[in-house]
Structure 1
Amino acid sequence: MIYTVTLNPAVDYYISMKEFQEGELNLINNGYTLPGGKGINVSKVLKNFGIESTVLGFAGGFTGDFIRKNLKEYEIKDKLVELKENTRINIKMRTEKTESEIAGHSPNISESEYKEFLKAISEIKEGDILVLSGSVPKSLKTNIYQEIIEILPEGVKVILDTRGEPFKYALEKGVYLTKPNNVELGEFFNEKYETIEEIIEAGKKLRKMGSENVLISLGKNGSVLITKDGVWIGNVPKGELVSSVGAGDSMVAGTLYGIVKGMDISEAYKYGIASGSATAFTEGLTTFEGMQKLLNDINIKREGI
């Protein structure tokens, strides 16, 4: 079974307009609302690909109800802990020139609510896969992902997709895969990388620090996969960018799809690239058909070969 953890989900309000004028009345061209959260996105893409998963985390109030209802419509199982406070609302704004985000205020999570969440974690068994992704609410410890990993049984593959201190602490316990982007990688090492060679070296450092495999997304410049067997560099297929929101989560889901189907991670990487790109080229998250259409346009080169 695959479990995805979203500690800080949201209701995401997507809006588009020609331009945003500060201090003025702005009219949108288009708007729609979707449940947000990196783990939730991974579960939804997996469902689109015919792979079952269970969503773990927290949800509260009318916004929490909206998330639960949407997951039910998707026929995705959830064990979200009910909070007293409302789940946050985020704004994702796209103009002709830029993409901007406004992150809403996170609800407070009590000690009893956290303990209830840990009960769901305790049900994870050897051979399961756990995706730990997204930000950590201020009411929880920054080492929460580390604490979760500590109580897992042996043989659970952990995929880590977060940043800052939660990333650092979790990495110390060892994980199967991390998926930073180039900006997050630079933030973590307090460096600015100018070349692909520098990015690869930084990825190799993550392997030494506890990540068995490292998948680095580079936006329009493609991506890099680093494993014990070598380094692979993947392209971005041709297409028109609609929104980058959820593309990284879709990359995780596509890679997971390949792994669940019995592929080596270097082979599953192709499905990750296609999935992330397909989401970037459409509104919302990719379908299985959308991902498949791009597979033949993916070019992966092994470094040194």
Structure 2
Amino acid sequence: MTFLLSLPSWQQALLATLFTWGVTALGSALVFGFKTIRSHALAMMYGFAAGVMIAASFWSLLDPAISLAAKLDKTPWLVVAIGFGLGGLFLYAADKLIAVLVLNRSQDQQPPRQVKQAILLVFSITLHNIPEGLAVGVAFGAIEAAGNTEHAAMILAAMTVAIGIGLQNFPEGAAVSIPLRQNGMSRLRAFMYGQASGIVEPFAGVLGAFLVSSVNTILPYALSFAAGAMIYVACKELIPEAHARTRAESHWAIFGIMSGFMLMMVLDVALG
């Protein structure tokens, strides 16, 4: 604790977000534990990824965005509606653009749909991690900005934010790397993409620490924007793919969605 208190806020934020990135990498490393996976297990994994993203979109993104917008004396429902809608539209545009780019990649060994699905999945989780990194940075930057004597209590609160986000990142790392592996990627490459989805957090954390007041203003929009992007990918790619794996036994996909949702819900609610 003494060591952390002696550091500038941007260094505190950097250490905290390096931790959250590391937990993302740990979740992605689960891809090394699977050899062959049956169709019902695949359906559960795709469903699990969708459930994680749906739950995170509310408890990790929309709910904090609503609270933050209220604290900033903005109209909460309008802020989250704008951000959420723009997030979905942005992913829709990216979806169309990726489709055009993929069709022009004749040397790629993966079918176009799988390439597009992989890009959208990594892209959406990465977008989700940017506002989370900003949130950690703002939490640590606020300690220095406050200029009071309660630094120990404030740094404990900021560390709690970082630990909570880090634990949430574990299933999210798996939610990226495992579907990529099932799309034909090597385990190492799927792991690299999975952990790379969290690498934006240290950059965003340092930025948030430096720009506490201005980042606070746009953070509710950024959080809801990421939520819209995640819901788009979950509904457009992951849920249909989960059901397609076991058409005759769609309950496996539903079990996966529910288990992923419950895990993220428990983590978010328990960690506040």
Q: TM-score range by the shorter chain?
A: under 0.3
Bigger share in helix: 2
Bigger share in strand: 1
Q: Which has the higher contact order (CA 8 A, sep 6+)?
A: 2
**So what's the TM-score if we normalise by structure 1?**
0.24
**So what's the TM-score if we normalise by structure 2?**
0.27
